[in-house]
Amino acid sequence: LCEDIISQNSDIRHIVEQLISIGFNRIARNSQSNERAKILLIDEVDVFFSRDFYGNVYIPSANLRDPTITSLINFIWSQRKSNLKLNQVEATAEYKACCHTFPTWEPLIREAVKDIIDDVHNFESYDYVVKEDKIGYIEQDNIVYNVVYSYKTLFAYYYEHEKGQITRKSLEEKISIRIKCGSFSYAEIPLQFKYIMGVTGTLETLSDPEKQIIQNVYKIGKNTYIPSMFGKKNLMFRIEDDIIIENSNDYFNTIKREIDNRLVGKSSEKRAILVFFESKQRLKEFYESKALETIKQSVAYLTEEASSEEKEIAIKRATASGQITLFTRTF
């Protein structure tokens, strides 16, 4: 949505790249504007008020590419174990060549180098997945390949290339200096629409300040409350039954006992059992453990790396009587 709004008349990334590469006076301008009235539909207003959106900003980045930039980043990667400092990089032929190519943008290059030096030491701070010559990150129950964490993602490509998991071609496509194109407030996005409508199950639970923002800032004055079609929840949480603390040696055995205890219901028919783990690594450890050996033929597992088709099949199978399925927490 942010992309559509900030680039509705011109591609902001392309403009920034042109500005640096060929200068302001030679940028092609688009005089057309889209004045058509728009309607915004909001789903789950409490998500909008979460820290990921309200009060946060969207920062698009342009990618500046040049052989001198490639040489500079290659040098920094090759020296990553030497605790490089900014002044050391500035003294190199690679840095000077880069500044010579973009003579009026040396301050921008210097700031980029600061980020590059920092990220080359911390590129593994985000868990990533290597698949089909690309690096992706887990978001909810999917792997997304269009998310980039500054230069950390770039150096993950370098690292995996050295391990033989990423081709040279794929790596070279990612080498660039990232130029921030500004900061765009998520809170301002709804104000670009003439009408705002939405559906949410949490309207009554919003805080008073949040309700005031909806009414005074976004001018939403009409609320309609409809009873839930699901009725009253009968779920109960009992600390003594639902929380078990075990030492690490008995952890997997305890999970196995819980599976055995819950597998057969009151009607003596077998239930479907779903077990959720904090990570893929923990799930695999349990799946390969001795605790699961006796029932392993009835156990399947599902992680974020599965394809959409594999997920659909596994989820359908997970509801069958007697089926035990292991999931990562994102599901």
Indicate the domain borders of the chain.
61-180, 239-328
CB atoms within 10 A of CB 197: 11
Annotation: CATH topology of 239-328: Rossmann fold (3.40.50)
Query: Which residues, 6 or more positions from 130, have their beta carbon under 8 angstroms from its beta carbon?
Result: 160, 165, 166
pLDDT at residue 164, as a whole number: 93
Sign of CA dihedral 314, 316, 319, 320: negative
Kindly give the confidence (pLDDT) of every residue in the chain, 331 residues in length, as a single tens digit, with 9 standing for 90 and above: 767 777 777 777 777 777 777 665 555 555 555 567 888 888 888 888 888 788 888 888 888 899 999 999 999 999 988 888 999 999 999 999 999 998 888 998 999 999 999 999 888 877 888 888 999 887 766 788 888 888 999 999 999 999 999 999 999 999 999 888 888 888 888 888 888 888 887 788 888 888 888 888 888 888 888 877 777 777 777 777 778 888 888 888 999 988 888 888 777 788 899 999 988 888 999 999 988 888 888 899 988 878 778 888 888 888 888 899 999 888 8
pLDDT confidence of residue 27: 54
Check residue 86 and give its pLDDT: 92
What pTM was computed for the model? Answer: 0.66
150 closest CA partner among 172, 106, 120: 120
Strand positions, DSSP E, the chain: 39-43, 57-58, 61-64, 129-131, 134-139, 142-144, 177-180, 184-185, 195-199, 273-277, 299-302, 324-328
Contacts of residue 73, defined as CB under 8 A and 6 or more positions apart, other chains included, come to: 116, 154, 175, 177
> Distance between CA 292 and CA 324 in Å, rounded?
11
How many Å apart are CA 247 and CA 239, to the nearest integer? 18
**The one-letter amino acid at 14:** H
**What pLDDT, on the 0 to 100 scale, is given for residue 126?**
79
